[in-house]
């Protein structure tokens, strides 16, 4: 279909919890710059698949590679540093930290000043912290969150917390962004804002996005390609139009027709 | 500009605490502070170091460790061996006490910090007991009857140790490294997915905390004439834990304040041995009912003096 080399290549990946095969034999290829959706009924294994990509779970079979580099058995923080960053289904902000500190945590792995330089308050510490501060403020401005920078993350309204979580994931400078149900619990107004935000970040950052979502208008509206998972297996893939009319997908969502 | 302002606040706190130090030193030198009060002062200092070091592990990094008396014991015995058996100077004994405890922190921390919550608590509790039982069975350090130690802990030593402990922990906390630790406390999975090496930072916090507990142990040992393994049972660990919880998990000034307050209360309650534990427990129960977040919550003293908008943790007055 496309001649470019894939950014992410997932080959027959699966994971087994005891006797339960939560995900099995999944093949996914993502190309640079794509916005791809991942849908499926509840319990289909979508979030488990994200956890496999980010190293939270280690796959029991198959391989995952980013830009040709094998990611298997790397701890989650290394995978993030390699360029996969994510948000969570149930928001996981650092709630007691301020908005700006949430973003600064994402910059941590790029910081150069050592623990010793911080304890002794050497000039390199101040320089490093100042750079982080400035970078974080610039960053928050893009997301219209700079006026809340000293607010505790937990005190933000729901929609803004989602926005901050996406901002934080992007601050880690990913090549691939995984969004796990970003529109969950949002009202239509907030969902609309979110769609604009996703469009904006794709434009601003050179980014590939994989999106789990239940909000069909959103998925059909923004995604270029869609993968469908059911019972841990890939049952369909293709353009939104094809997916909409795929009998297998309809069956998975609505159940079999009574004959 | 903010850096300059912050630096000013820092130096102001340092000068204030030095003035406090000088006043006490003059009082001790002039003989107007009797040995009872002097001893209370030492205890307050030692407890501040213990509270501050456990604060880094529990309050900042969120690792529920209840074996802190183990590190205290390692520091106490290591330093006592240095001064009593090897005739080394007290300065060296202090450092060795700290390093020995930090090493113990690494040894126990690397395997057990994979555990979370209750499991980690039980593992650290076990560690504390192992240290105690081991000391009980080593004849070189006197076994159950304990070890004689000369009285070397003096006010300047205690004061310098308290000051260094607070500065180091405060500087660590208010840096990107401290933020990494707080992010682990807030949500370990999210911290991991933000590129934080969570195991590394947990171990670092554990080792720094253990180091200062070891220093406290050295001061503690040389403040008595004898140390025994029974001084370092798990009740001692709970005493330190209470300081941190009462002060407010996540607040360094709270931990310091609680250390001062509870040490003073315990000291004065010694006059009423029959009702001592009842009153002490009542204070804790009432405190936890009416102020479950602890004395300071997660706030620091300095943030009260600042205008709204200041988020950084400043150094607080180290008046001990």
Per the structure, the complete domain to which residue A82 belongs is given by 22-95+155-254
Contact A125 B175 (CB under 8 A): yes
- Candidate from A76, A80, A119 with C-beta closest to B171: A119
Report in angstroms the alpha-carbon separations of A166 from A93, A136, A181, A199, B47.
Answer: 10, 14, 11, 13, 43
Residue A125 falls inside a structural domain? no
Structurally, chain A folds into a number of domains equal to 1
Shortest distance between the Cα of A250 and any Cα of chain B, in A, equals 34
**CA atoms of B127 and B108, how far apart (whole Å):** 7
Task: Please state the domain extents for chain B.
Answer: 2-305
Residue A3 falls inside a structural domain? no
Which residue's structure tokens are 């340092």?
B14
CB proximity A86 to B under 8 Å:
yes
Most B CBs within 10 Å: which of A47, A77, A112, A165, as the mutation test of the B interface? Answer: A77
- Residue A42 sits in a domain whose CATH number is 3.40.50.300
pLDDT at B224: 85
From first to last of the 259 residues of chain A, give the pLDDT tens digit: 455 788 999 999 999 988 888 899 999 999 998 999 999 888 888 999 999 999 999 999 999 999 988 988 889 999 999 999 999 999 999 999 999 999 999 999 888 899 999 999 999 999 999 999 999 999 999 888 999 999 999 999 988 999 999 999 999 999 999 999 998 888 888 888 888 888 888 888 889 999 998 888 888 888 999 999 999 899 999 999 888 888 888 888 877 666 5
**CA atoms of B188 and B182, how far apart (whole Å):** 9
pLDDT at B307: 46
Residue A217 falls inside a structural domain? yes
**CA atoms of B1 and A33, how far apart (whole Å):** 41
Contact A108 B198 (CB under 8 A): no
Contacts of A164 in chain B (CB under 8 A): none
**CA atoms of B26 and B157, how far apart (whole Å):** 15
pLDDT at B243: 92
Report in angstroms the alpha-carbon separations of A74 from A64, A240, B272.
Answer: 11, 33, 60
pLDDT at B310: 38
Residue A176 falls inside a structural domain? yes
Contact B171 A121 (CB under 8 A): yes
First-residue to last-residue Cα distance in chain A: 38
Which option is the CATH number for B2-305: 1.20.120, 3.40.50, 1.10.3470, 1.10.760? 1.10.3470
Residues of chain B with pLDDT under 70: 1-7, 304-320
Residue A53 falls inside a structural domain? yes
Both tokens of A104, joined, read 């600064």
Tell me which residue of B49, B54, B62 sits closest to B238, measured CA to CA: B54
Contact A76 B192 (CB under 8 A): yes
Residue A192 falls inside a structural domain? yes
CB proximity A111 to B under 8 Å:
yes
**CA atoms of A26 and A138, how far apart (whole Å):** 39
**CA atoms of A105 and A209, how far apart (whole Å):** 22
Most B CBs within 10 Å: which of A74, A87, A99, A118, as the mutation test of the B interface? Answer: A118
Contact B250 A96 (CB under 8 A): yes
Contact B298 A115 (CB under 8 A): no
Residue A37 falls inside a structural domain? yes
pLDDT at B9: 75
pLDDT at B306: 55
pLDDT at B308: 43
CB proximity B249 to A under 8 Å:
no
pLDDT at B1: 45
Both tokens of B21, joined, read 């130090």
Long-range contacts of range A235-241, CB-CB < 8 Å, 24 or more positions apart? A240/A37
ipTM: 0.90
- Candidate from B177, B194, B250 with C-beta closest to A118: B177
pLDDT at A219: 87
- Residue of chain A with shortest Cα separation from B3: A126
Residue A118 falls inside a structural domain? no
Question: Counting one residue from A and one from B, how many pairs have CB atoms under 8 Å apart?
Answer: 106
């Amino acid at each position: 279909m496309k001649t470019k080399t894939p950014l992410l290549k997932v080959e027959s990946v699966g994971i087994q919890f005891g006797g339960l095969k939560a995900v099995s034999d999944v093949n996914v290829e993502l190309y640079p710059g794509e916005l791809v959706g991942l849908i499926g009924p509840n319990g289909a294994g979508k979030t488990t698949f994200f956890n496999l990509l980010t190293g939270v779970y280690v796959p029991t079979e198959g391989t995952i590679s980013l830009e040709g580099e094998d990611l298997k058995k790397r701890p989650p923080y290394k995978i993030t540093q390699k360029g996969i960053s994510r948000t969570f289904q149930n928001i996981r902000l650092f709630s007691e930290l301020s908005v700006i500190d949430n973003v600064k945590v994402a910059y941590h792995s790029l910081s150069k000043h050592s623990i010793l330089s911080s304890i002794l308050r050497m000039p390199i510490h101040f320089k490093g912290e100042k750079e982080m501060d400035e970078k974080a403020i610039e960053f928050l401005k893009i997301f219209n969150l700079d006026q809340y920078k000293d607010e505790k993350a937990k005190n933000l309204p729901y929609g803004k917390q989602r926005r901050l979580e996406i901002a934080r994931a992007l601050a880690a400078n990913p090549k691939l962004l995984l969004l796990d149900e970003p529109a969950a619990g949002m009202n239509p107004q907030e969902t609309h804002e979110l769609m604009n935000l996703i469009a904006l970040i794709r434009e601003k950052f050179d980014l590939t996005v994989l999106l789990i979502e239940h909000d069909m208008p959103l998925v059909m509206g923004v995604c270029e390609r869609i993968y469908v998972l059911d019972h841990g297996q890939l049952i369909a893939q293709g353009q939104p139009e094809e997916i909409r009319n795929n009998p297998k997908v309809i069956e998975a969502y609505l159940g079999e027709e009574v004959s | 500009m903010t850096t300059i302002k912050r630096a000013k606040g820092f130096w102001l706190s340092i000068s204030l605490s030095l003035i406090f130090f000088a006043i006490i030193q003059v009082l001790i030198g002039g003989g107007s502070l009797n040995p009872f009060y002097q001893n209370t002062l030492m205890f307050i200092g030692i407890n501040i170091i213990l509270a501050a070091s456990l604060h880094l592990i529990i309050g900042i990094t969120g690792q529920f460790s209840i074996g802190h008396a183990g590190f205290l014991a390692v520091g106490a015995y290591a330093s006592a061996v240095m001064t009593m058996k090897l005739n080394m100077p007290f300065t060296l004994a202090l450092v060795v006490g700290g390093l020995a405890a930090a090493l113990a922190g690494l040894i126990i921390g690397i395997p057990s910090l994979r555990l979370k919550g209750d499991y980690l608590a039980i593992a650290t509790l076990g560690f504390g007991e192992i240290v105690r039982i081991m000391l009980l069975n080593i004849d070189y350090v006197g076994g159950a009857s304990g070890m004689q130690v000369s009285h070397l802990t003096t006010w300047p030593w205690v004061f310098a140790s308290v000051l260094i402990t607070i500065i180091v922990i405060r500087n660590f906390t208010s840096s990107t490294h401290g933020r990494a630790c707080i992010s682990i406390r807030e949500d370990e999975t999210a911290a991991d997915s933000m590129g934080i090496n969570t195991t590394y930072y947990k171990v670092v916090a554990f080792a720094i905390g253990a180091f200062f507990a070891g220093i406290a142990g050295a001061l503690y040992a040389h403040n008595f004439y004898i140390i025994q393994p029974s001084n370092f049972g798990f009740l001692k660990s709970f005493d330190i834990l209470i300081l941190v919880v009462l002060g407010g998990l996540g607040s360094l000034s709270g931990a310091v304040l609680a250390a001062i307050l509870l040490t003073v209360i315990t000291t004065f309650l010694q006059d009423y041995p029959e009702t001592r534990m009842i009153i002490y427990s009542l204070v804790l129960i009432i405190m936890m009912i009416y102020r479950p977040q602890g004395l300071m919550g997660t706030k620091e003293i300095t943030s009260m003096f600042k205008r709204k908008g200041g988020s950084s943790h400043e150094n607080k007055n180290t008046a001990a």
